[in-house]
């Protein structure tokens, strides 16, 4: 079984859950990404009052994102959750501002 688990460490996870509050540091900015159970998210960059609102859908180990800033452009990311961290890897996203912020590892800082 251990061999199977090791071989499948890169496999798609069917039971991925991203609900909660996640943070990461990008340059001098602390970025916060909050997912709720209803399929919406809020992205906050730094301590500004500016927030980006969007919707998400999980399909196995893939998350689809649509938000205010990118209009109808959908972002598609592979999701990998390990204990208190989540990593988003870009599969397809032509909204440069979003993929520059979302892609990478995020640490959980709270539950919703």
In a domain, 1, yes or no: no
In a domain, 32, yes or no: yes
In a domain, 97, yes or no: yes
- Provide the percentage of residues in the chain whose pLDDT is more than 90: 70
Range of the domain at 60: 14-110
In a domain, 6, yes or no: no
Count up the domains in the chain and report the number: 1
Go through 89-111 and write b for each residue having 16 or more CB atoms within 10 A of its CB, e for each that does not: eeeebebeebbebbebebeeeee
In a domain, 7, yes or no: no
pLDDT 10s digits, 65-83? 999 999 989 999 999 998 8
**Cα(107)–Cα(105) distance, integer angstroms:** 7
pLDDT 10s digits, 29-61? 899 999 999 999 999 988 777 899 999 999 989
In a domain, 58, yes or no: yes
In a domain, 5, yes or no: no
In a domain, 40, yes or no: yes
| Domain containing residue 81: CATH number | 2.40.128.370
């Amino acid at each position: 079984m251990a061999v199977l688990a090791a071989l499948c460490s890169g496999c798609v996870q069917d039971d991925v859950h991203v609900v909660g509050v996640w943070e990461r540091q990008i340059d001098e900015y602390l970025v916060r990404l909050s997912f709720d159970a209803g399929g919406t998210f809020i992205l906050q960059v730094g301590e500004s009052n500016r927030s980006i609102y969007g919707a998400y859908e999980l399909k196995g180990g893939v998350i689809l994102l649509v938000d205010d800033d990118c209009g109808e452009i959908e972002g598609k990311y592979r999701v990998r959750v390990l204990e208190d961290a989540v990593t988003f890897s870009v599969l397809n996203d032509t909204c440069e501002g979003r993929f520059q912020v979302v892609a990478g590892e995020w640490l959980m800082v709270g539950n919703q």
